[in-house]
């Protein structure tokens, strides 16, 4: 199978299958239109540039979570990838819609924790990518790509992604 086809399939999966509201296993992941959850806000992250090391990478992230009530929380963390990840990228920017199950009442620092999911990106000068993730406290938070990741460089990455978030030091 051609790399272009693999990347296309991975990007399609990242946008059509939502990790939103899953109970923590791949079999629980459902399309967005089939889940009854609530939107908590938007997570905007800057992912540091760097090298993909063939079978994976790990890059620092700084994120702002803008809640639906207008308040903002800042997080730091790391975006790691396991799978094909070859090349070098500059800083990237990603926006996720943040969801939870209806019965979950997230408190302060609700996004602390680790998230996992699928990832796909390609860059030849200017690039695009997506990471659909689920996790957080009790695996009750879903991060669905809201905007395609914007980056630049020369890179191809397809595989599993994990994002760990900690409260930013003030």
End-to-end CA distance of the chain: 48
What pLDDT is stored for residue 124 in this prediction?
A: 64
Range of the domain at 85: 3-21+37-167
| H/E element, 47 | strand 37-47
Confirm whether 27 is domain-assigned: no
Residue pair 144/94 in contact (Cβ under 8 Å)? The answer is: no
Confirm whether 95 is domain-assigned: yes
Confirm whether 31 is domain-assigned: no
Comparing CA positions, the residue from 3, 24, 34, 10 lying closest to residue 148 is 10
Confirm whether 144 is domain-assigned: yes
Residue pair 18/144 in contact (Cβ under 8 Å)? The answer is: yes
Confirm whether 11 is domain-assigned: yes
Number of domain units in the chain: 1
Confirm whether 47 is domain-assigned: yes
What pLDDT is stored for residue 154 in this prediction?
A: 72
What pLDDT is stored for residue 6 in this prediction?
A: 40
Confirm whether 26 is domain-assigned: no
CB atoms within 10 A of CB 76: 15
What pLDDT is stored for residue 19 in this prediction?
A: 36
The position carrying tokens 């790691």 is: 80
51 bridge partner residues: 88
Who's near 111: CB < 8 A, 6+ residues apart?
A: 43, 63, 65, 73, 75, 98, 136, 141, 165
CB atoms within 10 A of CB 170: 4
DSSP state of 32: G
Confirm whether 30 is domain-assigned: no
What pLDDT is stored for residue 61 in this prediction?
A: 95
How far apart (Å, rounded) are the C-alpha atoms in residues 164 and 153? 24
Which residues in the chain land under pLDDT 70? 1-36, 124-128, 146-153, 170
Give me the chain's average pLDDT, please: 76
């Amino acid at each position: 199978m051609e790399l272009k086809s693999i990347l296309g399939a991975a990007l399609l999966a990242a946008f059509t299958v939502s990790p939103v509201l899953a109970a923590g296993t791949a079999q629980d992941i459902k399309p967005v239109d089939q889940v009854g959850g609530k939107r908590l806000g938007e997570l905007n992250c800057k992912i540091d540039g760097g090298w993909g090391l063939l079978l994976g990478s790990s890059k620092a992230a700084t994120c702002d979570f803008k809640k639906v009530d207008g308040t903002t929380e800042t997080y730091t963390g790391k975006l790691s990838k396991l799978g094909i990840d070859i090349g070098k990228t500059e800083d990237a920017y990603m926006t996720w819609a943040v969801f939870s199950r209806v019965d979950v009442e997230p408190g302060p620092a609700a996004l602390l924790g680790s998230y996992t999911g699928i990832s796909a990106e390609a860059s030849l000068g200017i690039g695009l990518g997506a990471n659909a993730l689920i996790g957080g406290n009790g695996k009750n938070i879903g991060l669905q790509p809201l905007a395609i990741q914007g980056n630049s460089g020369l890179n191809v990455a397809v595989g599993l992604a994990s994002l760990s978030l900690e409260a930013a030091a003030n």
